[in-house]
Amino acid sequence: WFLSHRLLLAMGTPAESLPMADAYLKVIFLAMPLLYAFAFITAALRGAGDARTPFRFLLLAVLMDIAFNPLLIFGVGPFPELGIAGAAWATFFSQGLALAGLMLYLRNKRHMLWLGRKDIGLLKIDTVILKALVVKGVPMGLQMILISLAMIMMISMVNGYGVETASAYGAAMQLWTYVQMPAMAIGAACSTMAAQNVGAGLWPRVEATARTGVLFNFLLTGALIAPIILFDRSTLALFLPAASEALEIGRHLNHIAVWSFLFFGVNFVLSGVVRSTGAVLPPLLILAIGMWGIRVPFALWLQPRFGADAIWWSFPVSALCSMLMIMAYYRWGNWRKATILDKPAQATPAEVPATPPSPVADPDVELER
């Protein structure tokens, strides 16, 4: 938070947009704990078999975010005009309200995941589970680090083309946040459902979960991409002046890059299914290749010839390659043999003697004799 200004300078942020970018970044940093807490609780709910409650509160957060964005950016009615920082404040308020509502829901329902004062004694460390969390969780955390670093790299390249291009890219990223939400939600749900069916040994259901998840990804993500393409001016005008050069740049880059989220969604769904068995390293490797082996080099090496278009085309190219790699691993990989926790050692039954013991004599029979 304190180094946000220096980070933006290191990324080559244009001087004209530096104050606005700094204000936006500071607010986003404030919203991060709320985002992480919300993600943690909703993931726990899905793991417990409740996928409806996370969806409802996620939908609430998205709708509030959509409503707050124009109000806080342009200062509609009693709301202050905050400019680009208003988009960050919209995220802050929507996530905070959704998280508070979710916590109240769990408390009022006396949900099994709600820990009150009487449950403090349950907070004990289980070394077996802790080891599994570290071994399986670190690669998943590295995935987010790789994504974040690649995003910083892309922003640094975009900033080299001036404030108009940077503004267009920032507005497009705001739209992309909503476009990728269905894929992320479907992927998380598929991972939970697949894990439950893996535990039950119902592998046909695992396959059906993956197929259904991919289908719904195309339907829902496509339903969001279509209006962004068909009504490109109107959607970008929510974040950019209607007659600006940045809006035209945003239209151009969206026509190239936004449909790559269809491929991203397939990758997210299949990666979630694969990780449900505990196979976390292959999705990490595929992501690393897609981001740092394809996207970043593609954008860097082709910029001298194609300019900013090389950056925009790097998104569909890398997303398509990542999708093909995860599809190949899903089809032919050994992820079905992976485990999350080590199986407990089973007790060895006592050896049965080869000769059965002699029957015990009945004393009553002996007396009669």
How many Å apart are CA 369 and CA 356, to the nearest integer?
Answer: 26
- Per DSSP, which regions of 143-227 are E strands? none
Q: Mapped to the 3 state alphabet, what secondary structure does 300-347 carry? A: HHHHHHHCCHHHHHHHHHHHHHHHHHHHHHHHHCCHHHCCCCCCCCCC
- For residue 119, pLDDT over 90 is answered with no
- For residue 3, pLDDT over 80 is answered with no
Question: How confident is the model at residue 346, as a pLDDT?
Answer: 52
| Locus of tokens 């109000």 | 71
Contact 187, 268 (CB under 8 A): yes
Across 117-133, average pLDDT: 78
Contact 265, 322 (CB under 8 A): no
How many Å apart are CA 87 and CA 95, to the nearest integer?
Answer: 12
Distance of CA 115 to the CA centre of its chain: 26
How many Å apart are CA 210 and CA 274, to the nearest integer?
Answer: 9
How many Å apart are CA 233 and CA 238, to the nearest integer?
Answer: 9
Question: How confident is the model at residue 57, as a pLDDT?
Answer: 93
Question: How confident is the model at residue 368, as a pLDDT?
Answer: 47
Which pair of structure tokens corresponds to residue 274? 């694969």
pLDDT-derived band of residue 143, with 50, 70 and 90 as boundaries?
confident
**Where is 100: in which H helix or E strand?**
helix 85-108
How many Å apart are CA 279 and CA 277, to the nearest integer?
Answer: 6
Distance of CA 208 to the CA centre of its chain: 21
- For residue 34, pLDDT over 90 is answered with yes
- For residue 196, pLDDT over 50 is answered with yes
305-335 pLDDT, tens digit each: 999 999 999 999 999 999 999 999 999 988 8
How many Å apart are CA 172 and CA 182, to the nearest integer?
Answer: 17
Helices (H) and strands (E) in the chain, counts: 15, 0
Q: Where are the domains of the chain?
A: 1-117, 127-334
Sign of torsion over alpha carbons 175, 177, 181, 184: positive
* Gyration radius of the chain's alpha carbons: 27
Question: How confident is the model at residue 365, as a pLDDT?
Answer: 44
Across 20-40, average pLDDT: 90
Best-predicted range by mean pLDDT (3-7, 360-364, 365-369):
3-7
55-105 pLDDT, tens digit each: 899 889 989 998 998 899 888 888 888 888 898 999 999 999 999 999 999
Contact 267, 319 (CB under 8 A): yes
CB atoms within 10 A of CB 1: 10
